[in-house]
Structure 1
């Protein structure tokens, strides 16, 4: 891949059968709350998961523009699968950037060909949205290996991932250390799902993103060798900060959900024979304008052409997620009682759109990170 992936190219890569399966699976997950493991096998085999892996290691060599384009296209069909893919891309990019030569050679080929699906395990109850008060710990043993203990919540891809990027407290935090997201003394580890010390739990029943396998991950005497530590000990905040600078943005998920909602509105109004009404067309045009603006800032983040790419990435998540929720709500008003049933697809799309604001960094944390950047 080179340059921004076109919509036509992406649709060809997905193919009509996979596109149809993505939509059907999203509707089924709304009822079951379960991830579609067969669909994820198809995603693994699609070649799309190679986007963020360098060509040297069997990947497509794509950058944030390619990642955002793929995630947006997936989210327009199935936001749960889109967020699973986004997390996979994020971990792949972190390994490519911060991993040792051994880690890159061992892990990146599998992340590219889909045999290894990656997830992030950062959040936990009581840690706060900024992840500054972690209860999970990493303790170095005499032989140099580490023992991880604790529990992670809201881990997307729990139980379906083969590899977890786990954030733990490995040293006493410095309460005076500056920072908004992440805290001092925190370290990342790469933990395989075959490690007996890591146990996923899908008992978390979400309102949105119900097929995303988002749940808990328990760490109980989870032993990992030091060679599976990602980055320097205690320097996780630097890696976290690099994520913001990458240009890959959850705003792409939001744009995809908004596209889906707008499509539902057009479909409903066409069936009702209302598209010939000027005031209806004008309302649709207003929604399309907001969607295009959200799309534009996501593209700007992926292009990394702004003077401060990190701030643009944060703003893209803020604007796109807010716009997506507003677009979905406006569509709900247009549909009226037709959208007010348990089987209405718009309800799923709206719940998915609202979920993006709560994903890390949450919108409130994004606002604080942007505000802090003005003070420097």
Structure 2
């Protein structure tokens, strides 16, 4: 994608964001629009993922997160999938006929997913998955889930910072009777992202549903950041939206005649531009260490987005103190991205890991 989103699409996405901020439930009409938009095919390069996700996040951060996770799963299938998986799934993922989600997190596993309670037990006819996943974006709306499970007892693993030996990925269909989504989480931010729980109970999958080598999920996880696709793109879009909101409000209020106000906007604009540039650099894979750049772009963009939203809230003064003002939802969304995988604290640990070797 090189062109901005159409005005009509942006308007639809903004209207959806306002509705879901109130309801806390996913917007089926907006999801159908996303599926039909052609944007689900953005997964083919990290650069295109970042551009598309950033643009959508300026209007609807929740749907941007849904699309990012969809693209992440599609890219993993393209990289690690069997020929049959690629042939069957990739065209449907690109067209939007199949929407994908990741189910990695679970209670007690920690941000690094070192010890999982969700297990996969081999049977003569396949595998049986049991356990529960939390904070799964796309729960209940996805047609396909990439589920991280323990397939063997965790062994000594001094290499990986994220995940551990004995973990594997399975592709589980959304209509599998052993997979039950629950949208009981009442989120402060990303309220339209369908982020909730997924319960796996006697969830039967075939050997052909295994993605990548058995027991080597950490290798797949480690390769994710080297694609350049970064959640920082969502944060960059949020920061742009907040800055635009401030500019529009201050212009209407006649406050741009104040030099101090103009200079505040200039400074915020510089920070937003820097965040967008860092995200773009991650997607271009042009740095000496693209994986590190991807992690740093997430850290930097999330910090910038939250800071810009806070500063814009101050510039809006009492206008921004009204619950329905968009800046409050943008701020909550900005905070949410910092908690999403890899969470910022884990990002810092991943960036710092080489210094311990």
TM-score bucket of the superposed structures, by smaller chain: over 0.9
1:265 equivalent in structure 2: 246
Are residues 1:38 and 2:29 paired?
yes
1:374 Cα deviation from its structure 2 partner: 3.4
Task: Give, in whole Å, the separation in 2 of the partners of 1:63 and 1:375.
Answer: 31
Task: Give, in whole Å, the separation in 2 of the partners of 1:79 and 1:374.
Answer: 34
Unaligned runs of 5+ in 1: 53-61
Are residues 1:136 and 2:118 paired?
yes
SS in 2 for 1:50: helix
1:50 Cα deviation from its structure 2 partner: 1.1
SS in 2 for 1:51: helix
2:341 equivalent in structure 1: 360
Stretch of structure 1 that moved more, 176-185 or 343-352: 176-185
Q: How does 1:97-246 map to 2 (within 5 A)?
A: 97-143=79-125, 145-246=126-227
Task: Give, in whole Å, the separation in 2 of the partners of 1:262 and 1:235.
Answer: 43
Task: Give, in whole Å, the separation in 1 of the partners of 2:355 and 2:292.
Answer: 10
1:263 Cα deviation from its structure 2 partner: 0.8
SS in 1 for 2:169: strand
Per-residue CA deviations over 1:82-126 (Å, capped at 9, x if unaligned) read 000000000000000000000000101100111000000000010
Task: Give, in whole Å, the separation in 2 of the partners of 1:337 and 1:64.
Answer: 40
RMSD: 0.9
TM-score for the superposition, normalised by structure 2: 0.98
Task: Give, in whole Å, the separation in 1 of the partners of 2:107 and 2:22.
Answer: 26
Is the 1:177–1:184 contact (alpha carbons within 8 Å) kept by the matching residues of 2? no
Return closer, same or farther for 1:176/1:191 CA change in 2, 3 Å cut-off.
closer
Q: How many residues align?
A: 357
Task: Give, in whole Å, the separation in 1 of the partners of 2:68 and 2:307.
Answer: 23
Task: Give, in whole Å, the separation in 2 of the partners of 1:204 and 1:238.
Answer: 31
Task: Give, in whole Å, the separation in 2 of the partners of 1:16 and 1:339.
Answer: 25
1:20 to 11, 20, 28: 11
1:183 Cα deviation from its structure 2 partner: 1.1
Task: Give, in whole Å, the separation in 2 of the partners of 1:255 and 1:226.
Answer: 40
Per-residue CA deviations over 1:32-54 (Å, capped at 9, x if unaligned) read 001001111111011110122xx
TM-score for the superposition, normalised by structure 1: 0.94
Structure 1 segments of 4 or more deviating over 4 A?
none
SS in 1 for 2:339: coil
1:176 Cα deviation from its structure 2 partner: 4.4
Is the 2:228–2:282 contact (alpha carbons within 8 Å) kept by the matching residues of 1? yes
Are residues 1:86 and 2:68 paired?
yes
Is the 2:40–2:96 contact (alpha carbons within 8 Å) kept by the matching residues of 1? yes
Is the 1:157–1:213 contact (alpha carbons within 8 Å) kept by the matching residues of 2? yes
SS in 2 for 1:10: coil
Is the 2:157–2:165 contact (alpha carbons within 8 Å) kept by the matching residues of 1? no
1:10 equivalent in structure 2: 4
Task: Give, in whole Å, the separation in 2 of the partners of 1:327 and 1:20.
Answer: 23
SS in 1 for 2:54: helix
1:297 equivalent in structure 2: 278
Is the 1:83–1:156 contact (alpha carbons within 8 Å) kept by the matching residues of 2? yes
Is the 2:35–2:96 contact (alpha carbons within 8 Å) kept by the matching residues of 1? yes
Q: How does 1:316-335 map to 2 (within 5 A)?
A: 316-335=297-316
Is the 1:25–1:78 contact (alpha carbons within 8 Å) kept by the matching residues of 2? yes
1:248 Cα deviation from its structure 2 partner: 0.1
SS in 2 for 1:357: helix
Is the 1:151–1:216 contact (alpha carbons within 8 Å) kept by the matching residues of 2? yes
Per-residue CA deviations over 1:277-304 (Å, capped at 9, x if unaligned) read 1111100000000001111110110000
